[in-house]
Amino acid sequence: MSDTTNNNMIYLQPTPVRIWHWLNALGIVTLCITGAQIRYPEFINIFGSYKAAIRLHNTAGIVVSLSFSLWFFYYTMIAGTMAQLYFPKKEDLQTGILRQAFYYFFNYFRGKPSPHHPTPDNKFNPMQKSAYLAIMFVLVPLVSLTGIFLMNIAPLREVLIMLGGLKILVGMHFLLACSLCAFLFTHIYLATLGHTPFAHFVPMWTGWEKIEDHGSHEPLHDLPKPAEHAKG
């Protein structure tokens, strides 16, 4: 199948990726809500009893851990594009992140196009690559690992003592979870910054994204110079 069609559409999100994305999204949202009830049971009571919230939280945690394993297996063993898609290149770090940040914070509100145009081989802009690298390779594994420890306190007692005790582990898990929750809100907001508010949501349902005529990439001389920051 060709990457594009006569209708200027590009096949951006394969079926396995879309299934993983929504399964993972449902799991993380469930974790955030149940986690809030577990942490603040005196203020939040959505799922009935405290034990029910813990059971649902643990189930959602297992689902997210398994979906992460499927994601890792797909991009590493089947698609073979893990490094290409998720690891920022030299150009991304030198100029790409600044250019994309300038677009998000300034040029988007001036109606200018994004400097990054996704393709099947380069879906994520430099800021997304950097964020997903931290989220998928640091944050999610650590949240999952600390969650597994908390689900197995008795058999892993010696390990918990080595890590500083139960309170330290609970605190780590909570802070990591808060970071993941913050990323979720940021992710949803940035997903609305297409040519229409739902333009970036459609490919996650259908797999296909409309190609627009963006023109050339925005030159670096449009970026604010260090001197301009100093004046501000």
Could you tell me the two tokens for 20? 């993983």
Long-range CB contacts (< 8 A, 24+ apart) of 225-228? none
With H, G, I as helix, E, B as strand and everything else as coil, classify residue 1.
Answer: coil
pLDDT in tens, the chain (232 residues): 444 444 688 899 999 899 999 999 999 999 999 999 999 999 988 888 899 999 999 999 999 999 999 999 999 999 899 999 999 999 999 999 999 999 999 999 998 888 998 888 899 999 999 999 999 999 999 999 999 999 998 888 888 888 888 889 999 999 999 999 999 999 999 899 888 888 889 999 999 988 765 544 444 444 444 444 434 4
Going from the C-alpha of 78 to that of each of 75, 121, 132, 188, the distances in angstroms are 6, 14, 19, 28
156 — phi, psi (to 5°)?
A: -105, 25
On whether the CB atoms of residues 35 and 177 are closer than 8 A, the answer is: yes
Going from the C-alpha of 112 to that of each of 99, 100, 139, 188, 213, the distances in angstroms are 12, 12, 33, 21, 12
Please give the domain boundaries of the chain with CATH numbers for all domains: 9-86+96-110+124-209 (1.20.950.20)
Going from the C-alpha of 26 to that of each of 22, 23, 195, 231, the distances in angstroms are 6, 5, 26, 46
On whether the CB atoms of residues 67 and 24 are closer than 8 A, the answer is: yes
On whether the CB atoms of residues 107 and 196 are closer than 8 A, the answer is: no
Using CA atoms, how far apart are residues 210 and 62, in angstroms rounded to an integer?
A: 35
pTM higher than the cut 0.85: no
**What DSSP line would sit under 205-224, residue for residue?**
HHSEEE-----SPPPGGGSP
First to last CA, the chain: 52
122 — phi, psi (to 5°)?
A: -150, 70
With H, G, I as helix, E, B as strand and everything else as coil, classify residue 62.
Answer: helix
- pLDDT value at residue 217: 44
10 — phi, psi (to 5°)?
A: -125, 135
